[in-house]
Structure 1
Amino acid sequence: MAKSLDHFDLSVIFSEMMLSTYFMEIRDSFPTLSNLTSQVTTGKQEEKAKLVTLYLKSVEEAVLAAASRDGKVKQKLNGKFMAIETLKVNKSCTPKKDIFTLNAGNQTMDIHCTTITEESMGGVVAFISYASIGSIIDETFVSEENLTTEGKLHNFYLNSKVVSGTMASMKNGPLSKSINFTFHHKQVKKEDEKAICVYWHGSSWSNEGCEVISSDENQTLCSCNHLSSFAILMASIRLQEDFLLTVITYVGLSLSLLCLLLAALTFLLCRPIQNTSTSLHLQLSLCLFMAHLLFLTGINRTKPAVLCSIIAGALHYLYLAAFSWMLLEGLHLFLTVRNLQVANYTSASRFKKRFMYPLGYGIPALIVAVSAIIGYKNYGTRTHCWLKLEKEFIWSFMGPVAVIILINLVFYVIILWILKRKLSSLNKEVSTIQDTRVMTFKAIAQLFILGCSWGLGFFIVEKVGKTVGLVIAYAFTIINVLQGVLIFVVHCLLNRQVRMEYKKWFSGKQKEIGTESNELSCSTTHTKMVRSNSTELCTCGPTSSAALSFLDL
Structure 2
Amino acid sequence: MSEVIRIEVVGRDIVNLKNPLKIRFPVNNYKNDSNKSYKYSCQYYDEQGNNTWKTDGCNTTQINDTVVECSCDHMTPFAVLLVDVKNMDVQQWEILSYISYIGCSLSAVFSASSILSFIFNRNARAEVSSSIHVSLSGALFLLNISFMFSEWGATLTVKEVCVFIAVTMHYSLLCSFTWMAIEALHLYLLLARVFNIYIKYYMFKLSLIGWGIPAVLVGSLLSVQQLSRPFYGAIGVTLSNSNATNAVCWITEPLILYGVNLSYFTIIFVFNTIVLITVSRQIFKLKKVDNKHKKIPVKDASTVLGLMCLMGTSWGLVFLCSGYTSYPILYIFCISNTMQGFSIFLWMCQTARSEKQKAAHTKSASTVDTFTIEKQKEPK
Compute the TM-score of the two structures, normalised by the length of structure 1.
0.50
1:109-136 deviation per Cα after TM superposition (whole angstroms, max 9, x unaligned): 99xxxxxxxxxxxxxxxxxxxxx998xx
For 2:251, what is the secondary structure of its paired residue?
coil
Per-residue deviation, 1:286? 1.0
Per-residue deviation, 1:443? 1.4
Q: 2:159 aligns with which of 305, 327, 330?
A: 305
Conservation of the 8 A alpha-carbon contact between 1:299 and 1:386: no
Q: 1:260 aligns with which of 111, 116, 121?
A: 111
Is the aligned partner of 1:440 residue 2:296? Answer: no
Conservation of the 8 A alpha-carbon contact between 2:233 and 2:252: yes
Q: 1:301 to 1:237 in 2, by over 3 A?
A: farther
Corresponding residue for residue 26 of structure 1: none
Corresponding residue for residue 264 of structure 2: 400
For 2:249, what is the secondary structure of its paired residue?
coil
Per-residue deviation, 1:312? 0.9
Per-residue deviation, 1:373? 2.6
Is the aligned partner of 1:517 residue 2:373? Answer: no
Corresponding residue for residue 287 of structure 1: 139
1:341 and 1:323 mapped to 2: Cα distance?
Answer: 24
Corresponding residue for residue 248 of structure 1: 99
Give 1:83-162 correspondences, 5 Å limit. 141-143=29-31
Corresponding residue for residue 193 of structure 1: 59
1:109 and 1:268 mapped to 2: Cα distance?
Answer: 62
Q: 1:339 aligns with which of 162, 181, 193?
A: 193
Corresponding residue for residue 416 of structure 1: 280
Q: Any gaps of 5 or more consecutive residues in structure 2?
A: 8-23, 43-54, 236-246, 371-380
1:387 and 1:109 mapped to 2: Cα distance?
Answer: 29
1:361 and 1:264 mapped to 2: Cα distance?
Answer: 16
2:150 and 2:25 mapped to 1: Cα distance?
Answer: 44
Corresponding residue for residue 366 of structure 1: 216
Give 1:512-551 correspondences, 5 Å limit. 516-519=358-361, 531-532=364-365, 534-535=367-368
Conservation of the 8 A alpha-carbon contact between 1:194 and 1:234: no
1:22-78 deviation per Cα after TM superposition (whole angstroms, max 9, x unaligned): xxxxxxxxxxxxxxxxxxxxxxxxxxxxxxxxxxxxxxxxxxxxxxxxxxxxxxxxx
Corresponding residue for residue 315 of structure 2: 454
Equivalences, count: 318
1:157 and 1:444 mapped to 2: Cα distance?
Answer: 44
Conservation of the 8 A alpha-carbon contact between 2:6 and 2:77: no
For 1:143, what is the secondary structure of its paired residue?
coil
1:313 and 1:254 mapped to 2: Cα distance?
Answer: 20
1:476-535 deviation per Cα after TM superposition (whole angstroms, max 9, x unaligned): 11110110111011111454157x5xxxxxxxxxxxxxx54345xxxxxxxxx6643943
1:234 and 1:340 mapped to 2: Cα distance?
Answer: 56
Corresponding residue for residue 240 of structure 2: none
1:384 and 1:243 mapped to 2: Cα distance?
Answer: 14
For 1:385, what is the secondary structure of its paired residue?
strand
1:412 and 1:234 mapped to 2: Cα distance?
Answer: 40
For 2:234, what is the secondary structure of its paired residue?
coil
Compute the TM-score of the two structures, normalised by the length of structure 2.
0.70
Greater Rg by CA: 1
2:275 and 2:87 mapped to 1: Cα distance?
Answer: 39
Corresponding residue for residue 477 of structure 1: 334
Q: 1:218 to 1:399 in 2, by over 3 A?
A: closer
2:335 and 2:344 mapped to 1: Cα distance?
Answer: 15
